[in-house]
Amino acid sequence: MHVLFIMVPVAFGLLCLALPWPRWQLASLVVGSLVHLGVTIRSWMTETSIEADAFFGIDPLGHLFLSLNSLLFAATCVYFVGYHRKALISQRIFLACVLGLLASLSALCMSRHLGVMWVSLEAASLAATPLIYFRLSARALEATWKFLLMNSVGIALALLGIFCIAVATQPVKPAIFLTTGDLIAQAHRLDPTWLRAGFLLALVGFGTKMGLAPLHSWKPDAYGEAPPPVAALLSGGMTLGAFLGILRVYQVCGAAGLAQWAGTWLVVFGLLSVATAAVFVVGNNDYRRIFAYTSVEHMGVMVIGVGLGLGGSYASMLHAMHNTLNKGVLFFMAGFFWRLYESNRVRDVRGALHHHPVAGVLFLGGLCATCGLPPFGMFFSELGILFAAAEKSQWWVVALFTLTLCIVFVGVMTAMLPMVFGPPPENVRSTPFGEKRWRTVTMLGSAAGLLVLALALGAYQPAFVRNALTQAAATLTLPIDSAAIVVARAAEARP
């Protein structure tokens, strides 16, 4: 079962490389992602269990992220068929890289060993690099260079963090593997200093990949210059992978009794991210960069949620789910507007609602979802985080969180609402592709599908979704408190 998740995209990727006809390549892309989605849905119906020292295994957290990835990839591949016009770099390499990205992210969600997790995240990063350079322009090249360099350095620091954690396992005899199961089981015997060092380095390293401030500077460039479906994949899928990296290390820290300390750092980085997003969103003139900064903000919110304990973790999982769906909608609509208005600038896009009502409604829905308006899910997740912070009497967190979210809301809405309302400019095209209705239908259809899902899962979550989120959150906050750790350590020290 595990192997399928990786082998399906790899097989279809190789098929993409092998087939010489562009349409067949696109077909294999779509079929591959849909098969992967099918395997994911199938996996929800069967129970799986994992041994403690296995390299691969699907635990509730990984399963949730894997399903979100799968869903987003399927929608994006359908969208891409409609969006894509002519290829500048070799199309087969591009499509193969998309499927390679899916394969490595699946491997990441399923990996239980920290080293394997690192390898798959690096593979995902490398698979994503050619995707950003799709348009072969100078700006895209610059964005690719910044993305590549910052991510590589971040990943190297994350590797150093994983090595620090390995050093922390040295007091444990006999030697344990770096699998999450083993680490959590033996967590009370790990060296705390090196575990802390490892957590900080992993937070900085994986945080660079995720786009937490102050390591976020590649994000606006990369999401602004990459083609919109790629930006959707990166912001909705790859960030989840990097988040998973942080969460695995956080699990180990939590089991070792350092949950409070680690949580403080997570909250600090999260608040910094939301504040940075607030500063840069206001007055920005490029709507894709604004989306990138909202992505930074959402990453910050997710990280704050996890740092605040059990209630916050559930809200964080809910937020992650809706982040994936919303980013899909937003970037799909950004791509549609790019085709219509041929500009990235906010000033040049006007009157979407009048010009193309369906697109305008979808974009407006995506905006409301991202900004956290009810009945969309982000409202409830952000509210949950506020409640969790209030429960712990962390009033500074409550105050800063509310303030920065308000600023982001104001910034995004003042920039984007004029895009939707008002009269359209003269030089806008009537339809993006002339007479080809099927392209418009594909693009808007995939966006609509995600938006409907976001709406449906917003105010009310069906039982199995709620279960999945609760189980995922539960793996993050294992009920071990510091007193038990001290007792366990003292018991071990006694001869």
Partner 1 sequence: MMSQSIIDAALILVVLLNLAMLATSRLARCVRIFAMQSLLLAALPLLLELQHTRALGLHPVAIAFGAAALKVIVIPWVLLRVLRTGEIHREVEPMIGFTASMLLGSLIVIACFAFGHRLVLPVKPQSDLLLSVSMATVLNGLLILVSRVKAITQVVGFLIVENGVFIFGLLLLEQTPVLVELGILLDLFVAVFIMGIVVYHIRREFDHMDTNLLDALKES
Residues in the site for partner 1, rule: CB under 8 A? 113, 115-116, 118-119, 122-123, 126, 129-130, 133, 138-139, 141-146, 148-149, 152-153, 156-157, 159-160, 163-164, 166-171, 175, 177-178, 191, 193-194, 220-221, 224-225, 280, 284-286, 289, 345
Q: What separation in angstroms does the CA of 214 have from each of 239, 258, 279?
A: 16, 24, 13
Q: Indicate the residue among 221 and 382 with the shorter CB distance to partner 1.
A: 221
DSSP characters over 81-100: HHH----SS-HHHHHHHHHH
Least distance CB 408 / partner 1 (angstroms): 16
Task: Tell me how far, at minimum, the Cβ of 197 lies from partner 1, in Å.
Answer: 9
In the complex, the smallest distance separating the C-beta of residue 255 from partner 1, rounded to whole angstroms, is 18
257's enclosing H/E stretch is: none
Whole-angstrom distance, CA of residue 189 vs CA of residue 200: 19
Q: State whether residue 179 is helix, strand or coil.
A: strand
Q: 164 or 368: whose CB is closer to partner 1?
A: 164
Phi, then psi, of 117 in degrees rounded to 5:
-60, -45
Nearer to partner 1 among residue 99 and residue 164 (C-beta):
164
Q: What's the residue count for the chain?
A: 495
Distance CA 162, CA 295 (A): 26
CA pair distance 62, 110, nearest whole angstrom: 6
Q: Cβ closer to partner 1: 169 or 180?
A: 169
The rounded distance, in Å, linking the Cα atoms of 400 and 402 is 6
Longest dimension (CA), the chain: 84
In the bound complex, what is the minimum distance in angstroms from residue 423's beta carbon to partner 1?
24
What is the C-alpha separation between 417 and 77, in angstroms, rounded?
Answer: 28
Phi-psi region of 351 (alpha: psi -120 to 50; beta: other; left: phi over 0): left
| CB 447, CB 336: distance < 8 Å | yes
Query: Closer CB to partner 1, residue 224 or residue 366?
Result: 224
Least separation in angstroms between CB 446 and partner 1:
28
Q: Which is nearer to partner 1, 135 or 392 (CB)?
A: 135
SS3 381: helix
Coil/strand/helix, residue 425: coil
User: Which is closer to partner 1, CB of 260 or CB of 285?
Assistant: 285
Residue 345 CB coordination number (10 Å): 11
- Which CB atom, from 55 or from 387, has the smaller least distance to partner 1? 55
Q: Least CB distance from residue 171 to partner 1, whole Å?
A: 5
Q: How far is the CB of 345 from partner 1 (least distance, A)?
A: 8
Task: Give first-to-last CA distance, the chain, whole Å.
Answer: 45
Nearer to partner 1, 225 or 297 (CB): 225
Residue 443 tokens read as: 């693009």
CB of 95 to partner 1, least distance (A): 17
Q: How far apart are CA 68 and CA 113, in angstroms?
A: 21
Q: How far is the CB of 330 from partner 1 (least distance, A)?
A: 19
